[in-house]
Structure 1
Amino acid sequence: MRLENIRIRNFRLLRRLAVDLAHGKTTTIFVGPNNSGKTSVMEALRLFIGSGTDNPKISFHDLSQLRHRDLKKIESLLATEADYERKVALLKRFAPRMRLDLNFSYDEEPADLVAATQLLMDLTPGTNMVRMRIEYALENAKKLVDDFEARPRKDTTLCDFLKDNFREHFKRVFFKVSPDGKEVEKLDDGGLLKSLLRIDIVPAQRHVDDDEGSRSAKLSKLLHDHYERFYQVDDAAGYQAIEDALTQSAGDLTGKYGKAFGRLTTRLQSFGYPPGQKAPDLRVRAELSAETIYRDNARIYYASEHAGSEGVMEEFELPEKYNGLGYKNLIYIVLQLESFRATIEATQGDKPRVHIIAIEEPEAHLHPQMQTVFISEISKALETDGGSTAQVLLSTHSSHMIAQSEFEPVRYFRRVGRQVAVKDLSKLPLPDDDPDILDFLRRYIRLTHCDLFFADKAIFVEGQVERLLLPMMMEEQAKLAGCETLGSQYISISEVGGGHAHKFKPIIDFLGIPSLIITDLDSVDDNKEKCPVAEGKGTSNACLRKWIPAKETVDELNACDEAEKTQGCIRVAYQIAQDGRCGRSFEEAFIYANVAWLSANCDKLSTTKTAVNKAVNAGLVEQAWELSAKLGKVDFALDLIAAPGWETPLYIKQGLRWLAEHPSQ
């Protein structure tokens, strides 16, 4: 049995959200910018279902803010309504509710059929889907009317009243629902939920340490949990041997304590008690348990080796606190996974058919290589001999984990206004005329560790020079009025080349990220040979010809206005005339924009100084075309990084201003 789909309504930012879990895979990956709703999905599961043995404790603040206006509307209607029964009816009609729908697929296994039968509402042959709904809804409208009208302070609003009394009036209600959502039938209670689903969460805030800090999740405590929940079940004889050793040690210590404290007990007896009463016989016993041993006396040490005298390897140990945070974090996660698995296996009676494990940001403190293998190793860590099926919901900001997972399990979260939208990358629409685009995008993201999924906005550049210099250009542009956001938003920069930028159209359109494409005019003559723009007839740039602005000739490209260079949330920027001259490439456009600066500062350049100085002496404007072809691209960029003060070419300035002014949501 598997959980296939999650639908959430009116929970925090999740006004109306549906997430399909990865088909046929253990792990579904949630990605997106900060505060885009990834954690809210996991919290919704925890608060509607309950995590482990915890009872869910939902609060007023979990109700979507868009639904607070319903409560304000109710309050205004109650204030103008005198009839008690009509007040109750108004509450029943308009009271908001939060909802979680869980869609399961099931197999022909007997245990699956037993669980599914209790939710089955569609007898169509071949159907293998059932749906369960959990709602937080108003339980008793009359009670809320009475309690609200009896509030001590009459100036307390209904929203403020519910902030302190939400769980008293809003309760969980369970339903079975037909797969199409048209038929709903209330269940007596949530008893079915425990046999159907269990969720465990590894939160992002993991204060892993073995010191005595109040916020520390001590690894020794986790070891004890593993000992009790797993070892006791997996090896009962070994577990009993440890318990017997503790009992014997306690008996030995009790005898020794009697001698150690004999003088104290004798002294107490000498003080005397009232006549007829026997003086207390004080006895000290040693009581040992595995829990106290692990909690107070067990510490993790890390063994290592080093070359001692005469090259002999010697072993030494260091306490837990001397180990790196990355390994502590990894050990913590693995211990938690083992604990979750052991709890399931130790469950008496029917085990939950589906086990969901939510892991927030596992990449914390892990180096890139370890992040890369985490996705593949997580499935191995959850292998089981039967019973429940473990599925993982993993939220991450790691481009390394994304690179390893390809596209199918990725779910992209993005805020749209005051709500959240989710895009399923397994459903990425692709053009029929280029079937290789998907493979290209997979390879690009895997090889470059693209951070596109975590960005507020994106810039795609032609080559290495633009990629190296763009941060400096953005820093200068952010100083101008209206462009300040360039310094405060997270902007992804990807080097794609002019011949491949158009291949990113499907994913940019799908994700809806405001994107700027900085490319070259790439003028060619009638023979398709590169030439100066003034002599050019057409362009060899595939992006300009096939995508935006979809023009073939230099004259058409020069005549394009702002609207023609823009398509939805995407804008292209290529060389335009500046002071009457237009470059074919970035280097040529840079020379035209910085004639005076290069003439005055060519001695500050390092690798390219000789070539630039020679062109200055021969007339920089006239030599710009030839000089741009001679300059080593990376060398030129590094020279400019070391000698700031130059001007950004006009076409890039205009593109950056558009990006700064375009809303990110």
Structure 2
Amino acid sequence: MRLENVSIRNFRLLRRVSIDLAQDKTTTIFVGPNNSGKTSVMEALQLFIGFANETPKISFHDLSQLRHRDLRRIEVLLAAEGDPEKRTAILKRFAPRMRLDLTFAYDEDQADLVAATQLLMDLTPGTSKVRMRIDYTLENAKNLLDEFEARPRKDLSLCEYLKDTFRDHFKRIFFKVSLDGKEVEKLDDGGLLKSLLRIDIVPAQRHVDDDEGIRSAKLSKLLHDHYQRFYQLDDAAGYQAIEDALTQSADDLTDKYGKAFGRLTTRLQSFGYPPGQKAPDLRVRAELSAETIYRDNARIYYASEHAGKGGVMEEFELPEKYNGLGYKNLIYIVLQFESFRAAIEATQGDKPRVHIIGIEEPEAHLHPQMQTVFISEISKALETDGGTTAQVLMSTHSSHMIAHSEFEPVRYFRRVGRQVIMQDLSKLPLPENDPDLLGFLRRYIRLTHCDLFFADKAIFIEGQVERLLLPMMIEEQAKVAGCETLSSQYISISEVGGAYAHKFKPIIEFLGIPSLIITDLDSVDDNNEKCPVAEGKGTSNVCLRSWIPAKANIDELMACNDAEKTQGCIRIAYQVSQNGQCGRSFEEAFIYANVPWLTANHAKLSTTKAAIKKAVDAGIVAEAWTLSAKLAKVDFALDLINSPGWVIPLYIQQGLKWLAEHPAR
């Protein structure tokens, strides 16, 4: 059995989110900027499911802020209605609720069929899915109304009143639901959940320090949990041997304690007791248990080797706290996996058919190579023999993990106002006339470790010069009034080349990230040969011709206004006339924008000094077209980095200004 879909409504920022879990992989990956709802998905599962005999720790603050207006609306309606029954009906009708829907896919396994039968709503042959719903909703409208009206402070609003009493009036109610959602049948309780699903979470804040003051957080405590919950079951004879050894050691220590404290007990007896009472016989016994030894006396040491005298390898050990945080983090996660597995195997009776493990930011302290290995090793660590299907929900900010997971398991979260939008990259719309596009995007992400999924905004650039100089340009543009946000937002910069920028159209539009594409005008003559813009008839730039602004004629491109260069959350920037001239490439446009600076400062340059001096002597404006073709791109960029003070070409200024003013999603 597998959990195929999780749908959440009105939980924090998750106003209405439906998540299909990865079908062909163990792990579904949640990515997106901070505070975009990734952790809330895991916490919703944990809070709503728990176990049937637990009281969920859901609070008023877990209710979506957009639903608080329902409570304010109820107060207005109640104030205008005097009939008690109608007032109760109003509260019952408009009271907000939180909801979790779970869709399971099952096969012909006997245990699967037993669990699924209790949720079946459709007997059509071939049906292999069932759906369960958990509502956290108002239990008794009349009781809430009576208690609210009897509140000591009459100035307390319904929202304020519920902040402290929410759990008293809102409870879990369980339903089985048809796959289309049209048929709903209430269940007696949530007991069925225990046989269907178990949720475990490895939180982002993991205490892995070997601090004497916080022994409860030590890895040695996790080792004891592993010993007690796993080793005891897996190797009963070995477990008993350890316990017998502890008992024998305790007996030996008791004999030695008796001799060590003999003088003390004799001295106590000499003081005597009141007449008729036996003198105290103080006995000291050693009591040893695996729990106290692991918790308070066991220490993890890391063994290593070094070359001693004569080149002989000698072994030495270092305490736990001397090992790197990355390895401690990895050990912690693996131990948690084993602990979760042991808990399922120790379950009496029917084991849960699905085991969901939520892992928050496993990349903490792990170097990039270890991050890429982690994503491929998860499934091996979760192998079980109990028939339970283990699935992982993993949130990450690691572009390395994303790069090695392809697109199918990635779910992209972004915040829009007071709610979250989730995009399923396995459903990325692709043009039918480009069957190789998905493969191209996968390879690009893998090779560049693209951080696009975590960015507030994105810039796609054409060449190496722009890539090297753009950070300086952003820093300078952020000093301009209205562009200050550029310095505080996380902007992803990707080098895509002029011939490939249009291939990113599906993913940019799908993710909805405000994006600036900086490209070249690439003017050509009637023979499709490179030429100065003044002599150009068309453009060879595929992005300009086929995407934005979808024009091929140079004159039309030069005449485009800002609106024509914008499509939704995407803006394109290419060379425009500056100081009476228009360049074909970045280098040529830079020359026209910086004639005075190049004339005055060319001697400060290094590699490109001679070529620029020659052009300045011959008239740099007239020589700009020829000079731009001669300049070594990387050398030119490095010279400019080393000699600040130049002016950003106008078309890039305009593009950065648009990006700064466009609100981040």
The alignment's TM-score, normalised by the length of structure 2, stands at 0.98
In the TM superposition, what whole-angstrom CA distance separates every residue of 1:553-605 from its partner, at most 9, and x where no partner exists?
21111111111111111111000100100001001100111111111111221
CA shift, 1:411, in A, is 0.6
Q: Does 1:521 align with 2:521?
A: yes
Summarize the Cα distance change of 1:154–1:281 in structure 2 as closer, same or farther, 3 Å threshold.
farther
Aligned to 1:532: 532
Whether the 8 Å contact between 2:52 and 2:189 is mirrored in structure 1 is no
1:253 and 1:454 map into 2 onto residues whose CA distance is: 59
Contact (CA 8 Å) 1:51, 1:200: kept in 2 or not? Answer: no
Secondary structure of 1:450's match? coil
Long gaps (5+) in structure 1: none
- Deviation, 1:54, is 7.3
* SS of residue in 2 equivalent to 1:171: strand
The aligned amino acid for 2:319 is: P
Q: Tell me, in whole angstroms, the C-alpha distance in 2 between the residues paired with 1:471 and 1:364.
A: 27
Looking at structure 2, the residues matched to 269 and 493 of structure 1 have their Cα atoms a distance apart, in angstroms, of 84
Task: Tell me, yes or no, if structure 1 residue 315 matches structure 2 residue 328.
Answer: no
Mark the CA change 1:169 to 1:236 in structure 2 (over 3 Å): closer, same or farther: same
Structure-to-structure mapping, 1:620-639, within 5 angstroms: 620-639=620-639
Deviates more, 1:61-70 or 1:138-147: 138-147
Deviates more, 1:538-547 or 1:603-612: 603-612
Aligned to 1:352, the other structure's residue is in SS state coil
**Code of the aligned partner of 2:436:** D
Q: In 1, are the aligned partners of 2:302 and 2:317 still within 8 Å (CA)?
A: yes
Q: Secondary structure at the match of 1:564?
A: helix
Pairing of 1:29-40 with structure 2 (within 5 A): 29-40=29-40
SS in 1 for 2:550: coil
How many Å separate the matches in 2 of 1:335 and 1:83? 60
Counterparts of 1:608-623 in structure 2, within 5 Å, are 608-623=608-623
Counterpart for residue 246 of structure 2: 246
Three-state SS of the structure 1 residue aligned to 2:404 is helix
The CA deviation at 1:619 is 1.4
After TM superposition, the structure 1 = structure 2 runs for residues 106-505 of structure 1, keeping only pairs within 5 Å, are 106-214=106-214, 217-505=217-505
SS in 1 for 2:492: strand
Displacement of 1:628: 0.9
| 1:463 aligned partner, one-letter code | G
Change (3 A) 1:474 1:52: farther
Q: Equivalents in 1 of 2:170, 2:604: separation in Å?
A: 71
Distance 1:614 1:578 in 2: 23
**Cα shift at 1:637:** 0.8
Q: Shift in Å at residue 384 of structure 1?
A: 1.7
Indicate the SS of the match to 1:258.
helix
Q: 1:254 corresponds to which letter in structure 2?
A: T
**Inter-partner Cα distance in structure 1 for 2:290 and 2:201:** 26
Distance in 1, Cα, partners of 2:497 & 2:218: 50
Q: 1:175 to 1:427 in 2, by over 3 A?
A: same
Letter in 2 for 1:265: T
Q: What is the rounded CA distance, in whole Å, between the counterparts of 1:241 and 1:451 in structure 2?
A: 52
Matched letter for residue 559 of structure 2: A
The CA distance in 2 between the partners of 1:212 and 1:131, in whole Å, is: 48
Structure 1 residues 7 and 590 mapped into 2: Cα distance closer, same or farther (>3 Å)?
A: same
Partner of 1:91: 91
- CA drift of 1:263 comes to 2.1
SS in 2 for 1:104: strand
Corresponding residue pairs, total: 665
Once the two structures are superposed, residues 110-151 of structure 1 have per-residue CA deviations (whole angstroms, 9 ceiling, x without a partner) of 100000000000111111110000111111222212222222
Distance in 2, matches of 1:269 and 1:9, equals: 73
- Amino acid of the structure 1 residue aligned with 2:188: D
1:67 aligned onto 2:43: no
Contact 2:362 2:396 in 1 (8 A): yes
Q: Which amino acid aligns with 1:158?
A: L
Q: Give the Cα separation in 2 of the matches to 1:51 and 1:524.
A: 69
Farther off after superposition, 45-54 or 484-493: 45-54
TM-score normalised to the size of structure 1?
Answer: 0.98
- For residues 430-467 of structure 1, the C-alpha deviation after alignment (integer angstroms, 9 at most, x for no partner) is 11111111110000000000111111111000111101
Amino acid in structure 2 at the alignment position of 1:339 = S
Residue 204 to residue 25, structure 1, CA distance change in 2 (3 Å) = same
Of residues 1-10 and 546-555 in structure 1, the stretch that sits farther from structure 2 once superposed is 546-555
Mark the CA change 1:144 to 1:564 in structure 2 (over 3 Å): closer, same or farther: same
Encode CA deviations 1:602-653: one digit per residue, 9 max, x unaligned.
1221221121122212211111111111111111111111111111000000
Asked whether the equivalents of residues 207 and 215 of structure 1 are also in contact (C-alpha less than 8 Å), the reply is no
Unaligned runs of 5+ in 2: none
Relative to structure 1, is the Cα distance of residues 295 and 652 closer, same or farther in structure 2, using a 3 angstrom cutoff? same
Shift of 1:275: 2.0
Deviates more, 1:492-501 or 1:305-314: 305-314
Quote the Cα distance in structure 2 between the aligned partners of 1:664 and 1:625: 38
C-alpha contact (below 8 Å) 2:459/2:517 kept by paired residues: yes
Contact 1:523–1:539, Cα closer than 8 Å, also in 2: yes
Q: Which amino acid aligns with 1:188?
A: D
* Kept in 2: contact 1:461–1:518 (CA 8 A): yes
1:474 alignment partner, SS class: helix
* Structure 1 residue identity aligned to 2:624: A
CA contact (8 A) 2:195 2:350 kept: yes
Decide whether aligned partners of structure 1 residues 142 and 266 sit closer, same or farther in structure 2, where only a CA change above 3 A counts. farther
Equivalent position amino acid for 1:50 in 2: G
8 A Cα contact 2:52 2:193, kept in partner: no
What amino acid is the match of 1:378?
A: I
Counterpart of 1:76 in 2: which secondary structure? helix
Render the CA deviation track for 1:517-573: whole Å, top value 9, x for unaligned: 000011111221111111111111111111111111211111111111111111110
- Superposed displacement of residue 386, structure 1: 4.0
1:539 partner letter: T
Shift of 1:481: 1.3
**Whole-Å Cα distance in 2 between the matches of residues 469 and 50 of structure 1?**
53
String of CA shifts for 1:468-524, please: whole Å, max 9, x gaps.
111111111111111111111111000000000000001111111111100001111
Q: Which is worse superposed, 69-78 or 557-566?
A: 69-78
Structure 1 residues 377, 148: closer, same or farther in 2, change over 3 A? same
Deviations 1:404-423 (A, max 9, x none): 00001111111122111111
Report the 3-state secondary structure (helix = DSSP H, G, I; strand = E; otherwise coil) of the residue aligned with 2:429: coil
Q: For the residues of structure 1 that align with 2:54 and 2:263, how far apart are their CA atoms?
A: 49
Cα distance, 1:52 vs structure 2: 12
Q: Which string of whole-angstrom CA distances, capped at 9 and with x for unpartnered residues, describes residues 5-38 of structure 1?
A: 0000110001111000001211000011111111
1:585 aligns with 2:585: yes
Select between 602-611 and 374-383 the one with higher mean Cα deviation.
602-611
In the alignment, the residues of structure 2 paired with residue 122 and residue 437 of structure 1 have an alpha-carbon distance, to the nearest angstrom, of: 40
Q: Is the 8 A contact 1:588 1:624 kept in 2?
A: yes
Alignment partners' CA distance in 2, 1:426 and 1:68: 34
2:41 maps to 41
CA contact (8 A) 2:215 2:296 kept: no
Question: Does the C-alpha gap of structure 1 residues 134 and 274 become closer, same or farther in structure 2, counting only changes over 3 Å?
Answer: same
Once the two structures are TM-superposed, the CA of residue 51 in structure 1 deviates from its matched residue by 7.9
**Greater Cα shift, 502-511 or 253-262:** 253-262
DSSP 3-state at the match of 1:209: coil
For residue 273 of structure 1, report the CA deviation from its aligned partner.
2.2
